[in-house]
Amino acid sequence: MKFRHFMAALGSTVAAVLLIIVAFLGVYAWPAMRLNGFHFLFENSWNLGGLYANPITVHGQQILPGAHYGILFLIVGTVLSTAIAVALAVPVGVGAAIFLAEAVPQAARRWFSFFVELLAAIPSVVFGLWGYVVVIPFLGHHVFPFMAKWIGFVPFFGGSTGSGYGLLTSGLVLTLMIVPLITATLRDALVSQPEMLREGAIALGASRFETLRTVLLPGVRRTLIGSTILATGRALGETMAVLMISGNALNYLPQNIYAPISTMASFIVSQLDSALQDPTGMAVRSLAEVALVLCLISIVVNSFARLLIRFSGEQVRVTP
Amino acid sequence: MLRPGRMIRGMEETPAAPGPEHKEADPHAFNPKVTRFRVRGLNAYYGAKQVLFDVQMDIGAGEITAMIGPSGCGKSTFLRNLNRINETVSGARTEGEILLDDQNIMRMDVSALRRRVGMVFQRPNPFPKSIFDNVAYGLRINGYKKNLSESVEHSLRRAALWEEVKDQLHKSATALSGGQQQRLCIARALAVDPEVLLLDEPCSALDPVTTAKIEELLVQLKQTCTIVIVTHNMQQAARVSDFTAFLLEGRLIEYQATPKLFTNPADPRTEAYITGRFG
Amino acid sequence: MSTVSGNESAAAFPGAAGRAFGRRFWDFAGWSICGLAFVLLGGAMLWIMAMVLLRGFHALTIEVLTHVTEGYAGGLLNAIEGTLILGVGGILLALPPGLAAGIYMAEFDNGRLAPTIRFLADVLVGVPSIVIGYFGYVTMVVAFGWKFSVAAGSIALAIISLPYICRTTEMAIRQVPRSLREAAYALGASEGQVATGVYLPVALPGVLTGVLLALAISVGETAPLLYTAGWSNYLWTGHLTNEPVGYLTYAIWAFITEPFAGAHALAYAAALLVTVFVLIISILSRLFVK
């Protein structure tokens, strides 16, 4: 066989893997999808049913009596925690990128940047450990009560502050995990803007920061949007860190910003043991449906981001 | 070769220039007209390397002054010192005195200086914005208080670009041709109504037809603006400028009225350069 | 007219004498905010490192490195061994298809296949690792009957590593100058010979960077392994299926939530090992790139 054909065949595995994953999950979750229908996305009830009762048949599927699966609270938890993370990560990421690209002297740039990129290399579970051991006590005992007292009049910022587990904590830690993605990409884009553009602005009397604000940043707009969307994708799928600090809510929506939540990703981990108790297997299949929904969302978000970046002509690094 | 008629064109358009040919052998011929820039004892360095040696020059108002010389002679460095844009290069250092209307430019607010002394670069460098936003940029940045659209139109007319782009002001500037982009950069520089316009080999990336258009433009502009142009094209210097300064290896060798410099240079090195023996 | 005095036009611009105070202020505010952003990130980084290093250092005894886990105490030898086995296993499985895809995309990029692979690889990067883990559970652990095993865990990690390896390979090969290949082809070399003899050796550092990157990610993964490798208190007995293995990241997650100080110590020790390992790999891979 010709070399190139052999390479093509072997290399196509990479492409096939993604399609296989979606296909298998879809097939496995199909019974659950038939049972749950569209209500799956809009209801707040994850209930395995009577575990010691005999299975009954609903919608053509064997399930335990009383079993009902709805994941609205998961969708809300995922969307809100990601939204907080992205809202915080963009300004911090842009600020840090500007600092690295413009304020740090050329020679030191590599080391300063490296320092920020190391943040991206830290495993999710270590972030979770840090969150669980250090951040939660700190926020729960000191910061949140303070916040609720002084800015509690703002909607969702008042009320019970809980013990530190919850939406805001998850959002904050997620921010740290996704910022390096934005910063690294944006820094590269800023550095590669031609010097001529800077000189043109400075010759008209703009200061260096004004040049950044009015000429350089608008010039890298598409890269910024693309990397933000990629960062969003990353935040949507974060599992371990969120699992350890979110409080693992079940079947209820957060009342304020300090309340516990669950995300789709963390739920899949936290529920496996219980789901295995269901002899009909419907619980496990419903979890698979959650995984499928999560997979499809991330595929859509990532595809959108990649296409956007491709059309801006910029190159985005694949580093995590 | 250089035709006398063409060379004196600069002189014809400047009415009653009080005889610039009086000081024959003095390379620093002082111009009794209003002086815009007074440069004294200018030494410039890049790191340890010295690139300008004790340059002294008076640049007259309302004239076109050309700077010629072989590559690396320091003419661009000199120009870039006039609006202090050289400061953005790391390792660059300047000593000496440059006075703009008797104010030391080193002590002025650099933003205000650059509004008064504009610059056009070798390669056109329009911002990735619309044509309108490019011309309006300097106005917005400097907090212009009057009507933007009027100023933009006025600048585009002065740069002889208005007719070509008046219907597409919101199109991206990068869609224009090279020659149009360079005229846009000139319009952009003119928008803030500078007293002086510095041009660093503005036509070197352009074709002869466009070059001729821009040269015509400069001759029109000098009525309202002092112009200093760096060029490696001697014919261009001869066509367009009133005064020419010849630099060699960082030193000002000769500074004379253009017709004089090109027909009867005082220094043998000047003669060697303009007759093409080197550079 | 500007030729005479030059200062009339200045009246249209505020703060003509010196730059308006407002502009200077916003510049200062701008740079400060950027500096603050960097300090926030740097500070968080230092805080995490401090916690991991300080608490982990106390917990990392010789005993931890040489004993296996016994319930919630003991050591981490089984976990260390498991992490290495799974990590190396994942890389070994990902290398052939990843390299092949990289070579194909770099060298034979005409037509629709290469861009398709590239696009799908880029999207695969973004798929949450828990989804890949669940997929592994559904197919390998349950359907194939392998149960929690090294095989399932390695394959899950391989899937996660694939896009990194193939993209870095592609980029590394693209950097090799065209002329080298052309010289070889002109001498009659076949495609396979040009690959192994000409550009792969030159692209090797780049490929290695991708491998290191994938290894760092594999060592840090938890969720997919929970669903494919399970957990074991014992050392691996060599079975690829039907035998779960331990791995460091499990220890970090599972033991910190237990109410035993001994368990916590193991969690910190595991965190230290994992973090240090990942940092060393990150530093090494950056030194490779130029």
Interface residues on A facing B, Cβ-Cβ cutoff 8 A:
106, 194, 196-207, 210, 214-215, 218-219
Inside any domain, residue C163: yes
Enter the DSSP assignment of B130: B
| Same domain flag for C48 and C71 | no
Do residue C53 and residue C83 come from a single domain? no
**Domain of residue C24, residue span:** 19-58
pLDDT digits (tens, 9 = 90+) for B214-250: 999 999 888 888 999 999 888 899 899 999 999 999 9
pLDDT bin (cut points 50, 70, 90) of residue C12 is low
Question: What's the pLDDT at A157?
Answer: 83
- Whether residue C4 is predicted with pLDDT greater than 60 in this model: the reply is no
Task: Report d(CA C185, CA A119) in Å as an integer.
Answer: 45
Quickly count: other Cβ atoms within 10 Å of residue B49's Cβ: 9
Q: DSSP of B137-170, one letter per residue?
A: HHHHHTT--S-HHHHHHHHHHHTT-HHHHTT-TT
- Let me know the angle formed at the C-alpha of B27 by B21 and B32, rounded to the nearest 5 degrees: 50
Instruction: Determine whether the interchain pair B145/C12 forms a contact, defined as Cβ–Cβ distance below 8 Å.
Output: yes
When divided into structural domains, chain A yields a total of 1
What is the domain-level CATH number for residue A145? 1.10.3720.10
Burial of B278 from C-beta contacts in 10 A (0-12 / 13-18 / 19+): exposed
Instruction: Please check whether residues C105 and C202 belong to one and the same domain.
Output: yes
CA angle in degrees (0–180, nearest 5) for B28-B31-B32: 140
Distances from the Cα of C231 to the Cα of A19, B211, C137, C223, C250, angstroms: 29, 77, 14, 12, 7
Give yes or no: residues C279 and C148 share one domain. yes
What ipTM did this prediction achieve? 0.88
CA distance B240 to B234: 10
- Residues in chain B within 8 Å Cβ distance of A219: 127-128
> Rounded distance, CA C131 to CA A289, Å?
10
User: pLDDT tens digits, residue range B178-225?
Assistant: 889 999 999 999 999 898 999 999 998 888 888 998 999 999 888 888
Q: Is B112 on the interface with A (CB under 8 A)?
A: yes
Inside any domain, residue A179: yes
Q: Which domain holds residue A168?
A: 75-266+300-312
C58, C77, C107 - which closes a domain: C58
| Residue B98 token pair | 């440059």
CATH no. for residue C237? 1.10.3720.10
C-alpha distances in angstroms, B8 versus B237, B239, B265? 12, 8, 15
Are both C81 and C52 inside the same structural domain? no
| One-letter amino acid for residue A40 of the chain | F
Can you give the pLDDT at residue B279? Answer: 57
What distance in Å separates the CA atoms of residue B264 and residue A68, rounded to the nearest whole number?
A: 101
- For residue A275, tell me if it sits in a domain: no
Q: What are phi and psi of B8, to 5 degrees?
A: -85, 0
Q: How much is the pLDDT for B33?
A: 60
Out of B62, B115, B142, closest to residue C3 by CB: B62
Give the tens place of pLDDT for each residue, C69-114: 887 778 888 899 999 999 999 999 999 999 999 999 988 888 888 8
Q: Which of B34, B102, B109 to mutate to test the interface with C (most CBs of C within 10 A)?
A: B109
CATH of domain B35-126+197-274: 3.40.50.300
Residues of chain C found within 8 Å of residue B101, distances taken between Cβ atoms: 6
Q: How many CA atoms lie within 13 A of A183 on its CB side?
A: 34
Q: Which of residues 147-206 of C touch A (CB under 8 A)?
A: 159, 162-164, 166-168, 190-192, 195
> pLDDT digit string (tens) for C156-204?
999 999 999 999 999 999 988 888 888 888 888 888 888 888 888 888 9
Residue at A37 is within a domain: no
Is C46 in the same domain as C103? Answer: no
Chain C partners within 8 Å of A288 (Cβ): 134, 138
H or E segment and range at residue B39: strand B35-46
Selecting from B111, B118, B126 the residue whose C-beta is nearest the C-beta of A207 gives B111
**Dihedral sign computed on CA atoms, order C49, C50, C51, C56:** positive
CA distances to A90, A97, A107, A237 from A182, in Å: 7, 8, 22, 17
Q: Domain residue spans in chain B?
A: 35-126+197-274
CB contact under 8 A, B121 and A207: no
Would A238 be classed as within a structural domain?
Answer: yes
Sequence-ordered list of residues with C-beta below 8 angstroms from that of B91, at least 6 positions apart, any chain: B46, B47
- A233 with C126: Cβ contact below 8 A: yes
Put simply, the chain C residues between 83 and 142 with a CB less than 8 A from any chain A CB are 96-98, 100-105, 107-108, 113, 116-117, 119-132, 134-135, 138-139
Q: Name every residue whose Cβ is closer than 8 Å to that of residue A309 and which is 6 or more positions away in sequence.
A: A222, A223, A226, A227, A316
Helix (H) or strand (E) holding B94: strand B92-100
Residue C76 lies in a domain: yes
> Within an 8 Å CB–CB cutoff, is residue C228 touching chain A?
no
Sequence-distant (6+) residues with CB within 8 A of B221 are: B158, B190, B197, B227
B46 sits in which H/E element:
strand B35-46
Residue A17 lies in a domain: no
Which residues of chain B lie closer than 8 angstroms to A214, CB-CB? 137, 140-141
Tell me which residue has tokens 């919850």.
A166
Residue A36 near residue A289 (C-beta atoms within 8 A):
yes
B271: which 2 tokens? 């003669």
Nearest to C153 by CA among C141, C145, C138, C166: C141
Q: Please state the domain count of chain C.
A: 2
Q: In whole angstroms, give the CA distance from residue B210 to residue B118.
A: 21
B277 pLDDT more than 80: no
With CA atoms as reference, report the closest residue to C103 among A3, B26, B52.
Answer: A3
Q: Give the rounded distance of the alpha carbon of A277 from its chain centre.
A: 29
Question: For residue C271, which of C119, C131, C120, C76 has the smallest C-alpha distance?
Answer: C76
The dihedral over CA atoms of C8, C9, C12, C18, expressed in degrees to the nearest 10, equals -80
CB B226 within 8 A of CB B198: no
What angle separates helix A3-36 from helix C150-174, to the nearest 10 degrees? 130
Q: C162 with C249, same domain?
A: yes
Looking at chain C, which subunits does it touch, using at least 3 CB pairs closer than 8 Å as the criterion?
A, B
Long-range CB contacts for residues C110-115, cutoff 8 Å, separation at least 24 = C113/A8, C113/A12
Q: What is the mean pLDDT of residues B90-102?
A: 88
Q: How far apart are CA C184 and CA B223, in angstroms?
A: 65
In tens, the pLDDT along A174-222 reads 999 999 999 998 998 999 898 899 999 999 988 889 999 999 999 888 8
Can you list the pairs that B210-214 forms with residues at least 24 positions away whose Cβ atoms lie under 8 Å? B210/B178, B210/B179, B210/B182, B211/B236, B213/B160, B213/B179, B213/B183, B214/B179, B214/B182, B214/B183, B214/B186
Looking at the fold, whether C32 and C104 belong to one and the same domain comes out as no
**Residue B24 above 80 pLDDT?**
no
Plot region of A268 (φ>0 → left; ψ -120 to 50 → alpha; else → beta): alpha
- Chain B residues with CB under 8 Å of A196 CB are 121, 123, 125
Same domain as C42, residue C159: no
pLDDT at A7: 86
User: Do residue C53 and residue C126 come from a single domain?
Assistant: no
* C49 and C84 assigned to the same domain: no
